[in-house]
Amino acid sequence: MKFNQGMSAPEIVTALEGRVTESTVYSILRVFKDENRQSKKKKGGSSRQYTPEDWKIIETIQAENNGYTYKQIREKWRERTGKLTAKLSNSTIERILQEFDYTTKNLEKEPAARNTPEAIEFRKNYCIEAAGWDMNELVYIDEKGFNLHQTGGEVGAREERKR
């Protein structure tokens, strides 16, 4: 704009109170002259490959069955969109689900025997019994440091290395 008013590069620097250098002004003028561009060029990186409709489909699939793995979500998305060869990475699925405030976790199947009428009755009786215990006679054990994914041998080997 200042150049169109007939100002030279040094005058533009002065008018902008030194917020840009003269070389920057010359660079901007050169880009304008050569490319007829007044704004920054878009940087690299890939553009979004998935439309808002794709995002909504993925969110709908997750809402319909929150036990699906990423692989199952990907397969259902391909079926619904007809994009049978499209690559939909796990990180893309995770990012989309995070946008819809979903979190992902490892699900474990609940054994059927856990909630049989007998098991429920057993837990109920245990709670009734525990309610009658003398609180001053109880010993509480802190389970901090226990790892369910270690076997006894691994724990012992780790203790040996510490010595």
Residues 33 and 94 in one domain: no
Residue 157, pLDDT above cutoff 70? no
What pLDDT is recorded for position 160?
Answer: 47
Q: Which domain holds residue 15?
A: 1-40
Residue 120 lies in a domain: yes
- For the stretch 22-65, pLDDT in tens is 888 888 888 888 888 777 777 776 667 888 899 999 999 999 98
Residue-wise pLDDT for 94-137, tens only, equals 999 988 888 777 667 778 888 899 999 999 999 999 999 998 99
Residue 140 belongs to a domain: no
Same domain, 87 and 12: no
| Residue 163 placed within a domain | no
Contact predicate 59/101, CB 8 Å: no
User: Could you tell me if residue 158 is inside a domain?
Assistant: no
Which residue in 56, 45, 47, 46 sits closest to 96, CA to CA? 56
80 with 14, same domain: the answer is: no
Claim to verify: residue 104 and residue 86 sit in the same structural domain: yes
Domain shared by 104 and 125, yes or no: yes
pLDDT recorded at residue 151: 58
Statement: the pTM of the whole predicted model exceeds 0.85 = no
Q: For the segment 8-19, what is each residue's pLDDT rounded down to a tens digit?
A: 878 888 888 878
Which residues have C-beta within 8 Å of that of residue 13, sequence separation ≥ 6? Answer: 20, 21, 22, 25
CB 94 within 8 A of CB 104: yes
Considering its fold, how many domains does the chain have in total? 2
Separation of alpha carbons 89 and 99, rounded Å: 16
2: amino acid identity, one letter: K
Residue 129 placed within a domain: yes
At residue 4 the predicted structure's pLDDT band, cuts being 50, 70 and 90, is: low
53 and 91, same domain (yes or no): yes
* Same domain membership, residue 115 and residue 78: yes
